[in-house]
């Protein structure tokens, strides 16, 4: 066999735009807030829900792996990668429940979107605000398929950073009219109630979790505590309720009494990840669960009866972050504010990286 004299590299399917080679757009927290305020928070959650549903419809196209965690005494740092073959994305995210007492966020994040054909990043974005929006959007997608159609009241336990996003998503997309809030810290409940004033939601501050779930057709648990907590006990969950369990998302960190899980039909994102991180870590490894994307595509039933208890055992999966990053990327291409990052070395002769360094003086 003769060795080839030259190597012909495949041309990218869609050539990069000149700006994609010159700089990497960076969407800061400031830029993200401006973008979301200009579009409207509720409309942003709805748009992200559409994106996420879209990605769930083409779930088999995605390279799916459980996120890579690095656990420590106070929390976890995780990398969440995925690709649909055209683009690759990852999120860096932490979860540190003890941070709140230090005056820090429990969850912070940033992420990258890159072209698969060149490997060049096309977006670097803050994702702390974006995660709260995409988590609400994912909850809404699940509830659209699983919650009772006539639901108007949601009980919400945990009134921290995620709370208002969840409340607004359910109000805007699913028509929830009343939110019954409870947090172990009354100051957090009061904060969320204050923030939700004027949104059209009737907000009821509840002194106990029992009061928060009374009369609710949907119950969202969104607490942060690095232990197997019992935010909801079995007797607090009646027939027909949809549970949107957000806070149990790490080994040894759950919110629901095990008996509830045994009475519920359970829906998950990526089973391999949820069995380690979600509420179902309390169950046998072969306990039946349904993947949410199968419900979205009509391959599996969602809610089938009035008395059925449905549980979305949410932990957050890379495909949702990928969907959110593509939405931000489109917004940047439509002119949304961003900074230009000099992130990629760009010598005139791609092989002359050294010469570029020397010429820089």
155: three-class secondary structure by DSSP: strand
- Closest C-alpha to 161, from 114, 113, 104: 104
Q: Is 157 in the site for ligand NAD (CB under 6 A)?
A: yes
* 261 within 8 A of 329, measured Cβ to Cβ: no
Which of 78, 183, 291, 321 forms a contact with ligand NAD (CB under 6 A)? 183
> At a CB cut-off of 8 Å and minimum separation 6, what does 176 contact?
151, 152, 153, 154, 167, 170, 201, 218
From the candidates 249, 259, 330, 349, give the one annotated as an active-site residue: 249
Smallest gap from residue 166 Cβ to ligand NAD (A) = 9
Q: Minimal distance in Å, beta carbon 216 to ligand NAD?
A: 15
User: Judged by CB under 6 A, does residue 316 bind ligand NAD?
Assistant: yes
Residue (20 or 291) nearer to ligand NAD, CB: 291
Per-residue contact track with ligand NAD, 201 to 220, x per CB under 6 A? --------------------
| 317 closest CA partner among 288, 291, 286 | 291
Which residue, 106 or 282, is less far from ligand NAD as judged by CB? 106
Q: Name the burial class of residue 73, with classes exposed (0-12), middle (13-18) and buried (19+) by CB atoms within 10 angstroms of its CB.
A: exposed
Give the x/- contact pattern for ligand NAD in 99-118, rule: CB under 6 A. Answer: -x-----xx-----------
Question: Minimum distance from CB of 271 to ligand NAD (Å)?
Answer: 15
- How far from 292 is each of 122, 173, 190, 220, CA to CA, in Å? 29, 18, 33, 17
Contact residue for ligand NAD among 108, 217, 223, 254 (CB under 6 A): 223
Is residue 302 part of the contact set for ligand NAD (CB under 6 A)? Answer: no
Q: Choose, by CB under 6 A, the member of 95, 111, 121, 155 that binds ligand NAD.
A: 95
Supply angle C-alpha 324, 326, 332, rounded to 5: 110
Give Cα 55 distance to the centre of its chain.
13
- 284 is annotated as an active-site residue: no
Catalytic residues: 249
Interface positions with ligand NAD (CB under 6 A): 95, 100, 106-107, 131, 135, 157-162, 182-185, 188, 222-225, 229, 231, 246-247, 249, 314-316
């Amino acid at each position: 066999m003769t060795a080839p004299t030259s190597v012909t590299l495949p041309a990218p399917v869609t050539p990069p735009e000149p700006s994609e080679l010159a700089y990497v757009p960076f969407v800061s927290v400031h830029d993200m807030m401006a973008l979301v305020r200009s579009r409207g928070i509720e409309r942003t959650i709805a748009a992200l829900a559409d994106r996420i549903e879209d990605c769930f419809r083409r779930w088999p196209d995605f390279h799916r792996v459980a996120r890579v965690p690095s656990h420590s005494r106070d929390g976890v740092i995780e990398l969440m990668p995925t690709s649909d073959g055209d683009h690759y994305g990852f999120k860096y995210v932490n979860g540190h429940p003890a941070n709140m007492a230090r005056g820090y966020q429990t969850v912070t994040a940033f992420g990258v979107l890159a072209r698969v054909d060149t490997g060049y990043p096309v977006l670097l974005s803050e994702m702390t605000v974006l995660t709260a929006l995409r988590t609400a959007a994912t909850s809404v997608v699940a509830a659209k398929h699983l919650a009772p159609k006539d639901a108007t009241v949601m009980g919400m336990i945990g009134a921290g950073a995620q709370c208002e996003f969840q409340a607004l998503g359910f109000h805007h997309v699913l028509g929830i009219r009343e939110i019954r809030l409870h947090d172990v810290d009354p100051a957090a409940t009061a904060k969320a109630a204050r923030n939700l004033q004027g949104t059209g939601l009737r907000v009821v501050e509840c002194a106990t979790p029992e009061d928060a779930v009374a009369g609710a057709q949907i119950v969202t648990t969104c607490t942060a505590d690095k232990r197997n907590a019992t935010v909801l006990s079995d007797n607090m969950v009646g027939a027909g309720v949809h549970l949107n369990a957000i806070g149990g998302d790490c080994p040894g960190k759950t919110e629901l009494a095990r008996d509830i899980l045994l009475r519920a039909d359970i829906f998950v994102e990526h089973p391999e990840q949820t069995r380690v991180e979600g509420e179902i870590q309390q169950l046998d490894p072969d306990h039946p669960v349904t993947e949410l994307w199968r419900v979205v595509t009509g391959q599996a039933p969602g809610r089938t009866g009035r008395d059925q208890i449905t549980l979305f055992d949410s932990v957050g999966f890379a495909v949702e972050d990928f969907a959110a990053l593509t939405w931000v990327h489109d917004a940047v291409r439509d002119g949304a504010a961003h900074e230009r990052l000099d992130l990629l070395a760009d010598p005139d002769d791609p092989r002359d990286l050294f010469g570029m360094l020397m010429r820089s003086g």
